[in-house]
A = this chain, B = another copy of it.
Amino acid sequence: MIQAENVSNLIVNRIYGLKMGIKRRKTRVVKVGNVKIGGKNPIVVQSMTKVATTDVGRCLGQIRRLADAGCGLVRLAVPTGADAIALSKIVAKSPIPLVADIHFSPRLAIASIEAGAAKIRLNPGNIKDRKDILRIIDAAKLHGTAIRAGVNEASIRDLKNEVVPEAKRVSLMLREIKKYVRLFEKRGFTNLVLSAKSADTVRTIEINRAISDTFDYPVHVGLTHAGLPEDAKIPSAIAIGTLLAEGIGDTIRVSLAGGSVEEVRFGLRILGSLGLAESDEPELTVCPTCGRCKVDVVRLAKQVKRSLRGVSKPVKVAVMGCIVNGPGEAQDADLAVCAAMGKGYIYRKGKKIATMGEDELLDALTAEIKKL
Protein backbone atom coordinates (compact mmCIF):
# COMPACT_ATOMS: atom_id res chain seq x y z
CA MET A 1 0.00 0.00 0.00
CA ILE A 2 1.28 3.44 -0.91
CA GLN A 3 2.35 5.81 1.85
CA ALA A 4 0.02 8.52 0.64
CA GLU A 5 1.29 11.03 3.16
CA ASN A 6 4.63 11.19 1.45
CA VAL A 7 3.54 11.74 -2.10
CA SER A 8 1.15 14.24 -3.51
CA ASN A 9 -2.30 13.03 -4.40
CA LEU A 10 -1.59 13.81 -8.01
CA ILE A 11 1.27 11.37 -8.08
CA VAL A 12 -0.79 8.78 -6.22
CA ASN A 13 -3.49 9.15 -8.79
CA ARG A 14 -0.99 8.74 -11.57
CA ILE A 15 0.31 5.59 -9.95
CA TYR A 16 -3.22 4.26 -9.68
CA GLY A 17 -3.65 5.21 -13.33
CA LEU A 18 -7.11 6.59 -12.72
CA LYS A 19 -8.58 9.59 -14.43
CA MET A 20 -10.03 12.31 -12.28
CA GLY A 21 -11.95 15.46 -12.68
CA ILE A 22 -14.09 16.71 -15.50
CA LYS A 23 -14.19 14.92 -18.82
CA ARG A 24 -14.49 17.63 -21.44
CA ARG A 25 -16.61 16.88 -24.48
CA LYS A 26 -14.61 16.42 -27.66
CA THR A 27 -14.60 19.49 -29.89
CA ARG A 28 -12.60 20.54 -32.94
CA VAL A 29 -9.76 22.98 -32.53
CA VAL A 30 -10.37 26.47 -33.88
CA LYS A 31 -7.49 28.91 -34.31
CA VAL A 32 -8.06 32.47 -33.19
CA GLY A 33 -4.78 34.19 -33.96
CA ASN A 34 -2.24 32.42 -31.77
CA VAL A 35 -4.92 31.18 -29.38
CA LYS A 36 -6.48 27.76 -29.85
CA ILE A 37 -10.06 27.13 -28.74
CA GLY A 38 -11.49 23.64 -28.36
CA GLY A 39 -10.02 20.16 -28.22
CA LYS A 40 -7.77 19.72 -25.22
CA ASN A 41 -6.69 23.35 -25.17
CA PRO A 42 -7.19 25.27 -21.92
CA ILE A 43 -10.57 26.95 -21.63
CA VAL A 44 -10.12 30.56 -22.75
CA VAL A 45 -11.55 33.37 -20.65
CA GLN A 46 -12.84 36.32 -22.67
CA SER A 47 -14.09 39.81 -21.98
CA MET A 48 -15.01 42.99 -23.85
CA THR A 49 -13.73 46.53 -23.84
CA LYS A 50 -16.22 48.93 -22.34
CA VAL A 51 -15.33 52.20 -24.05
CA ALA A 52 -15.87 53.36 -27.62
CA THR A 53 -13.56 51.43 -29.95
CA THR A 54 -12.57 54.72 -31.56
CA ASP A 55 -10.84 55.56 -28.26
CA VAL A 56 -7.74 53.59 -29.24
CA GLY A 57 -5.69 54.56 -26.19
CA ARG A 58 -8.26 53.60 -23.58
CA CYS A 59 -9.12 50.39 -25.44
CA LEU A 60 -5.47 49.36 -25.48
CA GLY A 61 -5.21 50.18 -21.77
CA GLN A 62 -8.20 47.95 -21.02
CA ILE A 63 -6.88 45.16 -23.26
CA ARG A 64 -3.48 45.20 -21.54
CA ARG A 65 -5.06 45.07 -18.08
CA LEU A 66 -7.28 42.24 -19.24
CA ALA A 67 -4.36 40.28 -20.67
CA ASP A 68 -2.46 40.76 -17.40
CA ALA A 69 -5.46 39.41 -15.48
CA GLY A 70 -5.50 36.20 -17.52
CA CYS A 71 -7.86 37.11 -20.33
CA GLY A 72 -7.14 35.20 -23.53
CA LEU A 73 -9.29 37.09 -26.02
CA VAL A 74 -10.89 40.53 -25.98
CA ARG A 75 -13.92 41.52 -27.99
CA LEU A 76 -14.58 45.04 -29.21
CA ALA A 77 -17.79 46.45 -30.64
CA VAL A 78 -17.53 47.70 -34.21
CA PRO A 79 -20.73 49.67 -34.83
CA THR A 80 -19.28 52.20 -37.33
CA GLY A 81 -16.62 52.53 -40.01
CA ALA A 82 -14.55 54.68 -37.68
CA ASP A 83 -14.54 51.81 -35.16
CA ALA A 84 -13.23 49.44 -37.84
CA ILE A 85 -10.37 51.85 -38.62
CA ALA A 86 -9.60 52.18 -34.90
CA LEU A 87 -9.68 48.38 -34.60
CA SER A 88 -6.78 48.02 -37.07
CA LYS A 89 -4.68 50.35 -34.89
CA ILE A 90 -5.60 48.44 -31.74
CA VAL A 91 -4.85 45.06 -33.36
CA ALA A 92 -1.35 46.29 -34.23
CA LYS A 93 -0.51 46.94 -30.57
CA SER A 94 -2.62 44.34 -28.74
CA PRO A 95 -0.80 41.65 -26.75
CA ILE A 96 -3.63 39.14 -27.39
CA PRO A 97 -5.94 38.33 -30.32
CA LEU A 98 -9.03 40.49 -30.72
CA VAL A 99 -12.60 39.71 -31.68
CA ALA A 100 -14.85 42.14 -33.53
CA ASP A 101 -18.46 42.29 -32.38
CA ILE A 102 -20.64 42.74 -35.43
CA HIS A 103 -24.34 43.38 -35.80
CA PHE A 104 -26.43 44.12 -38.86
CA SER A 105 -23.60 45.24 -41.16
CA PRO A 106 -21.78 42.96 -43.62
CA ARG A 107 -19.62 45.93 -44.57
CA LEU A 108 -18.33 46.28 -40.99
CA ALA A 109 -17.83 42.52 -40.71
CA ILE A 110 -15.55 42.53 -43.72
CA ALA A 111 -13.82 45.74 -42.64
CA SER A 112 -13.10 44.14 -39.25
CA ILE A 113 -11.69 41.01 -40.87
CA GLU A 114 -9.46 43.19 -43.04
CA ALA A 115 -8.51 45.24 -39.97
CA GLY A 116 -6.98 42.09 -38.48
CA ALA A 117 -9.62 40.81 -36.09
CA ALA A 118 -8.64 37.22 -35.24
CA LYS A 119 -12.31 36.33 -34.91
CA ILE A 120 -15.58 38.05 -35.57
CA ARG A 121 -18.73 37.52 -33.60
CA LEU A 122 -21.66 37.33 -35.94
CA ASN A 123 -25.36 36.82 -35.43
CA PRO A 124 -26.21 35.69 -38.96
CA GLY A 125 -29.85 36.20 -38.07
CA ASN A 126 -29.42 39.94 -38.16
CA ILE A 127 -27.65 40.04 -41.52
CA LYS A 128 -30.58 40.22 -43.90
CA ASP A 129 -29.13 39.06 -47.18
CA ARG A 130 -27.80 35.51 -47.44
CA LYS A 131 -25.34 36.64 -50.10
CA ASP A 132 -23.82 39.07 -47.62
CA ILE A 133 -23.23 36.25 -45.14
CA LEU A 134 -21.44 34.30 -47.86
CA ARG A 135 -19.26 37.33 -48.63
CA ILE A 136 -18.33 37.56 -44.93
CA ILE A 137 -17.51 33.85 -44.84
CA ASP A 138 -15.28 34.17 -47.90
CA ALA A 139 -13.43 37.13 -46.41
CA ALA A 140 -12.90 35.22 -43.16
CA LYS A 141 -11.59 32.21 -45.09
CA LEU A 142 -9.20 34.42 -47.05
CA HIS A 143 -7.78 36.04 -43.90
CA GLY A 144 -7.82 32.94 -41.66
CA THR A 145 -10.30 34.65 -39.37
CA ALA A 146 -12.45 32.56 -37.04
CA ILE A 147 -16.16 33.23 -36.73
CA ARG A 148 -18.30 32.90 -33.67
CA ALA A 149 -21.76 32.32 -35.07
CA GLY A 150 -24.43 32.69 -32.51
CA VAL A 151 -27.86 33.65 -31.53
CA ASN A 152 -29.15 35.69 -28.63
CA GLU A 153 -32.43 34.75 -27.01
CA ALA A 154 -33.45 38.41 -27.05
CA SER A 155 -33.20 38.50 -30.82
CA ILE A 156 -35.23 35.44 -31.79
CA ARG A 157 -38.66 35.88 -33.34
CA ASP A 158 -41.16 33.54 -34.85
CA LEU A 159 -42.09 33.63 -38.53
CA LYS A 160 -44.54 36.47 -37.91
CA ASN A 161 -41.78 38.47 -36.16
CA GLU A 162 -43.51 38.00 -32.83
CA VAL A 163 -42.20 37.19 -29.38
CA VAL A 164 -41.58 33.50 -28.82
CA PRO A 165 -42.83 31.96 -25.56
CA GLU A 166 -40.06 30.92 -23.21
CA ALA A 167 -40.76 27.21 -23.54
CA LYS A 168 -40.17 27.31 -27.30
CA ARG A 169 -37.03 29.39 -27.28
CA VAL A 170 -34.42 26.70 -26.73
CA SER A 171 -35.63 24.63 -29.67
CA LEU A 172 -35.93 27.75 -31.81
CA MET A 173 -32.41 28.88 -30.96
CA LEU A 174 -31.08 25.43 -31.81
CA ARG A 175 -32.94 25.50 -35.12
CA GLU A 176 -31.35 28.86 -35.95
CA ILE A 177 -27.87 27.58 -35.14
CA LYS A 178 -28.40 24.47 -37.24
CA LYS A 179 -29.33 26.74 -40.14
CA TYR A 180 -26.15 28.80 -39.70
CA VAL A 181 -23.90 25.77 -39.43
CA ARG A 182 -25.37 24.31 -42.62
CA LEU A 183 -24.68 27.60 -44.40
CA PHE A 184 -21.09 27.79 -43.16
CA GLU A 185 -20.31 24.16 -43.90
CA LYS A 186 -21.81 24.38 -47.36
CA ARG A 187 -19.39 27.23 -48.02
CA GLY A 188 -16.54 25.04 -46.76
CA PHE A 189 -15.97 27.06 -43.60
CA THR A 190 -15.35 25.22 -40.34
CA ASN A 191 -13.23 27.66 -38.33
CA LEU A 192 -16.35 28.11 -36.27
CA VAL A 193 -17.24 28.67 -32.63
CA LEU A 194 -20.89 28.39 -31.64
CA SER A 195 -22.81 30.30 -29.00
CA ALA A 196 -26.32 30.91 -27.77
CA LYS A 197 -26.87 33.49 -25.10
CA SER A 198 -29.75 34.01 -22.72
CA ALA A 199 -30.21 36.00 -19.53
CA ASP A 200 -31.95 32.97 -18.03
CA THR A 201 -29.82 30.45 -16.13
CA VAL A 202 -31.81 27.33 -16.97
CA ARG A 203 -32.27 28.11 -20.65
CA THR A 204 -28.57 28.95 -20.96
CA ILE A 205 -27.79 25.48 -19.62
CA GLU A 206 -30.38 23.81 -21.85
CA ILE A 207 -29.42 25.47 -25.14
CA ASN A 208 -25.72 24.81 -24.60
CA ARG A 209 -26.38 21.16 -23.80
CA ALA A 210 -28.37 20.96 -27.03
CA ILE A 211 -25.61 22.64 -29.07
CA SER A 212 -23.01 20.34 -27.58
CA ASP A 213 -25.16 17.27 -28.26
CA THR A 214 -25.59 18.34 -31.89
CA PHE A 215 -22.20 19.71 -33.00
CA ASP A 216 -18.52 19.23 -32.32
CA TYR A 217 -17.59 22.88 -32.82
CA PRO A 218 -16.15 24.61 -29.75
CA VAL A 219 -18.77 26.32 -27.61
CA HIS A 220 -18.62 29.84 -26.20
CA VAL A 221 -20.50 29.80 -22.90
CA GLY A 222 -21.91 32.63 -20.82
CA LEU A 223 -24.99 34.22 -19.38
CA THR A 224 -25.87 37.49 -21.10
CA HIS A 225 -27.21 40.71 -19.56
CA ALA A 226 -26.77 39.07 -16.18
CA GLY A 227 -26.84 42.36 -14.30
CA LEU A 228 -24.80 44.27 -11.76
CA PRO A 229 -21.96 42.17 -10.29
CA GLU A 230 -23.77 41.50 -6.98
CA ASP A 231 -26.76 40.10 -8.91
CA ALA A 232 -24.94 38.49 -11.82
CA LYS A 233 -22.25 36.43 -10.13
CA ILE A 234 -24.36 33.63 -8.64
CA PRO A 235 -26.40 32.86 -11.79
CA SER A 236 -23.23 33.15 -13.90
CA ALA A 237 -21.34 30.74 -11.64
CA ILE A 238 -24.26 28.32 -11.77
CA ALA A 239 -24.86 28.48 -15.53
CA ILE A 240 -21.22 28.43 -16.60
CA GLY A 241 -20.24 26.07 -13.77
CA THR A 242 -22.95 23.54 -14.59
CA LEU A 243 -22.00 23.46 -18.26
CA LEU A 244 -18.29 23.15 -17.52
CA ALA A 245 -19.01 20.39 -15.00
CA GLU A 246 -20.82 18.56 -17.79
CA GLY A 247 -17.79 18.99 -20.02
CA ILE A 248 -19.34 21.74 -22.13
CA GLY A 249 -17.57 25.00 -22.93
CA ASP A 250 -14.28 25.79 -24.64
CA THR A 251 -14.29 29.51 -23.99
CA ILE A 252 -16.28 31.45 -21.40
CA ARG A 253 -17.32 35.01 -20.81
CA VAL A 254 -18.79 36.29 -17.57
CA SER A 255 -21.00 39.24 -18.42
CA LEU A 256 -21.10 41.82 -15.63
CA ALA A 257 -22.45 45.34 -15.70
CA GLY A 258 -19.15 46.31 -14.09
CA GLY A 259 -15.45 46.16 -14.83
CA SER A 260 -13.99 43.89 -17.52
CA VAL A 261 -11.13 42.79 -15.27
CA GLU A 262 -13.72 41.71 -12.68
CA GLU A 263 -15.34 39.58 -15.40
CA VAL A 264 -12.04 37.84 -16.11
CA ARG A 265 -11.14 37.28 -12.46
CA PHE A 266 -14.55 35.81 -11.81
CA GLY A 267 -14.32 33.58 -14.89
CA LEU A 268 -10.95 32.30 -13.73
CA ARG A 269 -12.37 31.57 -10.28
CA ILE A 270 -15.14 29.49 -11.86
CA LEU A 271 -12.55 27.53 -13.82
CA GLY A 272 -10.34 27.20 -10.74
CA SER A 273 -13.21 25.86 -8.62
CA LEU A 274 -13.63 23.04 -11.11
CA GLY A 275 -9.93 22.32 -11.45
CA LEU A 276 -9.97 23.64 -15.02
CA ALA A 277 -7.43 26.40 -14.47
CA GLU A 278 -4.23 26.47 -12.51
CA SER A 279 -4.01 28.78 -9.57
CA ASP A 280 -1.05 30.26 -7.76
CA GLU A 281 -3.16 31.24 -4.78
CA PRO A 282 -3.38 29.38 -1.49
CA GLU A 283 -6.61 27.52 -0.83
CA LEU A 284 -8.15 27.79 2.61
CA THR A 285 -10.46 25.02 3.81
CA VAL A 286 -12.45 26.02 6.88
CA CYS A 287 -15.14 24.11 8.76
CA PRO A 288 -18.40 26.06 9.03
CA THR A 289 -18.35 25.62 12.83
CA CYS A 290 -21.21 24.23 14.88
CA GLY A 291 -22.12 23.47 18.47
CA ARG A 292 -19.13 21.14 18.76
CA CYS A 293 -16.70 23.94 18.19
CA LYS A 294 -15.02 25.39 21.29
CA VAL A 295 -12.78 28.00 19.65
CA ASP A 296 -13.51 30.93 17.35
CA VAL A 297 -12.69 29.12 14.10
CA VAL A 298 -13.85 31.98 11.87
CA ARG A 299 -11.55 34.44 13.62
CA LEU A 300 -8.66 31.97 13.45
CA ALA A 301 -9.35 31.37 9.74
CA LYS A 302 -9.29 35.10 9.02
CA GLN A 303 -5.98 35.44 10.85
CA VAL A 304 -4.55 32.49 8.93
CA LYS A 305 -5.76 34.08 5.69
CA ARG A 306 -3.85 37.22 6.63
CA SER A 307 -0.73 35.13 7.26
CA LEU A 308 -1.14 33.65 3.80
CA ARG A 309 -0.98 37.03 2.08
CA GLY A 310 2.07 37.15 -0.08
CA VAL A 311 2.17 33.38 -0.51
CA SER A 312 1.81 32.84 -4.24
CA LYS A 313 1.78 29.06 -4.32
CA PRO A 314 -1.28 26.82 -4.64
CA VAL A 315 -0.84 25.44 -1.12
CA LYS A 316 -3.79 23.99 0.75
CA VAL A 317 -4.36 25.07 4.33
CA ALA A 318 -7.16 23.77 6.53
CA VAL A 319 -8.57 25.34 9.69
CA MET A 320 -10.84 22.92 11.51
CA GLY A 321 -12.72 23.14 14.79
CA CYS A 322 -13.24 19.55 15.98
CA ILE A 323 -12.00 16.00 15.66
CA VAL A 324 -14.91 14.75 13.54
CA ASN A 325 -13.45 15.93 10.27
CA GLY A 326 -10.37 17.83 11.37
CA PRO A 327 -7.78 15.07 10.94
CA GLY A 328 -9.48 13.98 7.68
CA GLU A 329 -9.26 17.40 6.07
CA ALA A 330 -5.69 17.70 7.35
CA GLN A 331 -4.72 14.74 5.15
CA ASP A 332 -5.39 16.69 1.99
CA ALA A 333 -3.76 19.88 3.20
CA ASP A 334 -0.17 21.01 3.06
CA LEU A 335 -0.76 22.54 6.48
CA ALA A 336 -3.68 22.22 8.86
CA VAL A 337 -4.69 23.29 12.31
CA CYS A 338 -7.35 21.55 14.31
CA ALA A 339 -8.66 22.90 17.60
CA ALA A 340 -10.38 20.19 19.58
CA MET A 341 -11.08 19.33 23.19
CA GLY A 342 -9.02 22.16 24.61
CA LYS A 343 -5.95 21.41 22.53
CA GLY A 344 -4.51 22.58 19.27
CA TYR A 345 -2.91 20.32 16.70
CA ILE A 346 -0.74 21.19 13.73
CA TYR A 347 -0.48 18.91 10.71
CA ARG A 348 2.00 19.03 7.85
CA LYS A 349 1.02 16.97 4.78
CA GLY A 350 -1.47 15.07 6.92
CA LYS A 351 1.02 14.18 9.67
CA LYS A 352 0.51 15.58 13.13
CA ILE A 353 3.69 17.52 13.89
CA ALA A 354 2.79 19.42 17.06
CA THR A 355 0.30 19.59 19.91
CA MET A 356 -0.15 22.79 21.89
CA GLY A 357 -2.58 25.09 23.66
CA GLU A 358 -5.31 26.45 21.39
CA ASP A 359 -4.02 30.01 21.84
CA GLU A 360 -0.63 29.05 20.43
CA LEU A 361 -2.05 27.66 17.19
CA LEU A 362 -1.91 30.83 15.13
CA ASP A 363 1.74 31.61 15.86
CA ALA A 364 2.79 28.03 15.23
CA LEU A 365 0.91 27.87 11.93
CA THR A 366 2.25 31.26 10.84
CA ALA A 367 5.78 29.96 11.45
CA GLU A 368 4.98 26.91 9.31
CA ILE A 369 3.52 29.11 6.56
CA LYS A 370 6.76 31.10 6.45
CA LYS A 371 8.63 27.88 5.73
CA LEU A 372 6.53 27.23 2.60
Contact of A288 with B225 in the complex, beta carbons under 8 Å = yes
Complex contacts, A158 vs chain B, CB 8 Å:
1
Give the nearest-CB partner of A160 in chain B: B1
Does A35 make an interface contact (CB < 8 A)? no
In the complex, whether A274 has a CB less than 8 A from a CB of chain B is yes
Q: How many A residues touch B, CB cutoff 8 Å?
A: 105
Given known contacts A288-B48, A325-B224, A301 and B9 CB-to-CB distance under 8 angstroms = no
A364 within 8 A of B: no
B residues in contact with A331, CB < 8 Å: 154, 163
Say yes or no: A49 contacts B290, CB within 8 Å: yes
CB distance from A148 to the nearest CB of B (A): 15
A182 interface contact, C-beta 8 A = no
B4 lies within 8 A of A162 (CB): yes
Instruction: State whether A227 touches B163 (Cβ < 8 A).
Output: no
**Contact (Cβ within 8 A) B286 A227:** yes
Given A153-B328, A202-B275: A165 and B12 within 8 A (CB)?
Answer: yes
Q: Does A278 contact B (CB under 8 A)?
A: no
A263 within 8 Å of B (CB atoms): yes
A199 to B233, CA, bound (A): 21
CB contacts (< 8 Å) of A163 on chain B: these are: 4-5, 331, 350
Q: From B22, B101, B152, B237, give the contact of A290 (CB < 8 A).
A: B101
Q: Is A103 among interface residues, defined by CB-CB distance under 8 A?
A: yes
Q: Closest residue to A86 on the B side, CB-wise?
A: B291
A41 contacts partner chain B, Cβ-Cβ < 8 Å: no
Please pick, from B160, B255, B286, the residue contacting A225 in the complex, using a CB distance under 8 A: B286
Q: Which residues from B are CB-within-8-Å of A134?
A: none
Is the CB–CB distance between B83 and A274 below 8 Å? no
**Chain A 329-365 per-residue mask, 1 if CB under 8 angstroms from chain B, else 0:** 1011000000000000000001000000000000000
A→B interface (CB under 8 Å): 1-5, 9, 12-13, 15-16, 18-22, 48-53, 59, 75-79, 83, 101, 103, 126, 152-156, 158, 160, 162-168, 199, 201-202, 205, 224-228, 231-235, 237-239, 241-242, 245-246, 255-258, 263, 266, 269-270, 273-275, 283-293, 297-298, 301-302, 305, 318-320, 322, 324-325, 327-329, 331-332, 350
Give 19 new A-B contacts, CB below 8 A, not counting A48-B291, A234-B269: A2-B165, A15-B165, A18-B167, A20-B166, A20-B167, A103-B324, A152-B325, A154-B325, A199-B329, A199-B332, A225-B285, A225-B287, A225-B320, A231-B283, A238-B242, A238-B273, A239-B241, A256-B288, A257-B297
Q: Provide 20 A-B residue pairs closer than 8 Å at the C-beta atoms, listed in order of the A residue.
A: A4-B164, A9-B165, A13-B166, A21-B202, A83-B291, A152-B324, A154-B332, A156-B328, A166-B332, A205-B245, A224-B287, A224-B288, A227-B286, A231-B286, A233-B234, A237-B241, A241-B241, A242-B242, A242-B245, A256-B288
